[in-house]
Each structure stands twice: as C-alpha cells, then as structure tokens.
Structure 1
Amino acid sequence: MAETEDKDVKARKEREKDELYALDISGVEWQSAPGTEEHEERVEIAYLPGGAVAMRSSLDPDTVLRYTEAEWRAFVLGARDGEFDLEPAPHNGGVSAE
C-alpha cells in the first residue's frame, strides 16, 4: 500500500513539473531585489499561476528554473532558517558571505 502511494505521489509531482514547464511564460514580469542596478548580476523571479515561481540569472535569462508552490515554499523557509548560509572556508578567504 505505501509503495503504491509513493508511486502515486511521484507521478503527481512529475505531472505538476511537466505542466509547469509547459506554461508559456513569455509575458511574465521579472522581479529582482530592490536596489540592484539593471547592469548588475542578480537573481530574478517571476510569479506564475498556482503559486509557482520561475527563477533566472540576469546574466543568462534564457535558462529558467521553475518551482511548484510547495517547492518554492520549502526553499524560502529553508533560506530563512539559514539552510543555505555559507560557512567561512579557505576557498573564500575564510570570510562568510554576510
């Protein structure tokens, strides 16, 4: 029974991703953090239907990642909780990203 439920969840998630990547996002409004200049490298996001989000780099606007509402929520909560904070390391001079 649990194995069937796992397969059903996996199939549902794959359908959601397929639908998300099938969306025409040519007319979306891209947003970036306040205070960034047009010529600066920055992360841009666009809100999509159903709470989904698209993300791209200003330096590579043709490469767009898309996240379901649940994926985006998990990412934002993780970022707020410090999951992605960089630790001081030799490769960055022992300086944190703060």
Structure 2
Amino acid sequence: MEIQWRKSSRSTDAEGNCLEVAVKDGEVLIRESDDPGVIIRTTRAKLRAFIDGAAAGEFDDLA
C-alpha cells in the first residue's frame, strides 16, 4: 500500500518546502518535502504530547 502524504492547507511555500504527515500501520510518519527520504516515526500520543508542549512554551529556552 502506498503511503498517502498530506501537508497543511496553510503551506504556502512556492517551492513546496513543508512538513508532510501520513499514518501507516498505526504510526504517524513525518517528513520534510525537500528531503523525503528521512522519515520520523512516532505515535499519535507522543506527537500530541510534543505539540501540546510546544504550544505551552516548554521548549522556548532550548535555543
């Protein structure tokens, strides 16, 4: 089965550089469109925890 990659409807980069996501066999797959060979695999729960943490500012002081 071919993976169906999706990107945000808010992605407006003219060159198509964006993050794409897909779901396969219960895993969430994430890749950059300009380097599609590198794929991050995670779970929905872990991705949700990361997004919630980022929204709450948990990573703001890492720079």
TM-score normalized by structure 2?
A: 0.67
Match of 2:13?
Answer: 37
Q: Which entry has the higher C-alpha Rg, 1 or 2? A: 1
CA RMSD of aligned residues (A): 2.6
Q: Which of 21, 24, 32 pairs up with 1:57?
A: 32
Distance 2:34 2:45 in 1: 27
Identity percentage over the alignment?
Answer: 37
Q: How big is each residue's C-alpha offset from its partner over 1:38-86, in whole Å with a ceiling of 9 and x where there is no partner?
A: 5142222223454x32111111011110111221121111111112336
Which residue of 45, 56, 63 maps to 1:81?
56
Q: Which sections of structure 1, spanning at least 5 residues, go unmatched?
A: 1-23, 90-98
5+ residue gaps, structure 2, are: none
Which protein has the bigger helix share?
A: 1
Q: Which moved more, 1:35-44 or 1:63-72?
A: 35-44
Structure with greater proportional strand content: 2
Higher relative contact order (CA 8 A, sep 6+): 2
Q: How far apart are residue 28 of structure 1 and its match?
A: 1.5
Residues matched between the structures, number: 63
- TM-score, structure 1 as length reference: 0.48
